[in-house]
Amino acid sequence: MKPLIVFYDGPCVICNWWVRKLCQWDKNDQLRFAPLDGTLAKQFSQERNLDLSSIDSVVVWDQMYSYALEAEASFMLFNRLGGFFVFLTPLSYLPKGLTNGIYRIIARNRYNWFGKYDSCPLPDPKFKHKFL
């Protein structure tokens, strides 16, 4: 099974916090991370005719099947991580409009609520292999 690739907003403080947490929770080394403004994300978006600059979302790419945006991306991550996260699976059955709406509110306000780095911070050296 190929790792999921998580494209995230590099300068976003909350996004970086989540990426650090995901690195810690990823006990089976099944996640990789790349910034949304990086080369791999640009290649990914061009191949799928997807304008990442118009999407205010993390993108999770299952290299074997497809990709997911917004709340669906979170559910894809939780599903892959397993363990405790299986208890969050029922949330994926809520209406997509509701879960994505909540996601969009947080995404739209993330810089105001949590702040923004001047540039994407370097990863913890023990997780460096997870960053593409």
- Confidence band of 23 (pLDDT split at 50, 70, 90): very high
Between residues 53 and 115, the one the model is more confident about? 115
Backbone angles phi, psi at 6, to 5 degrees: -105, 115
In the predicted model, is pLDDT for residue 56 greater than 90?
A: no
- Given a contact cutoff of 8 angstroms between Cβ atoms, the answer to whether 77 and 60 are in contact is yes
Look at residue 52 in the predicted model and tell me its pLDDT.
84
Look up the domain containing 26 and give its range. Answer: 4-130
pLDDT in tens, 65-116: 899 999 999 999 998 988 888 888 888 899 999 999 999 999 999 999 999 9
Q: How far apart are the C-alpha atoms of 72 and 74, rounded to whole Å? A: 5
Beta bridge partners of 60: 6, 68
Q: pTM for this one?
A: 0.89
Q: How far apart are the C-alpha atoms of 99 and 28, rounded to whole Å? A: 27
- Give the total number of structural domains in the chain: 1
- CB count within 10 Å of CB 62 equals 16
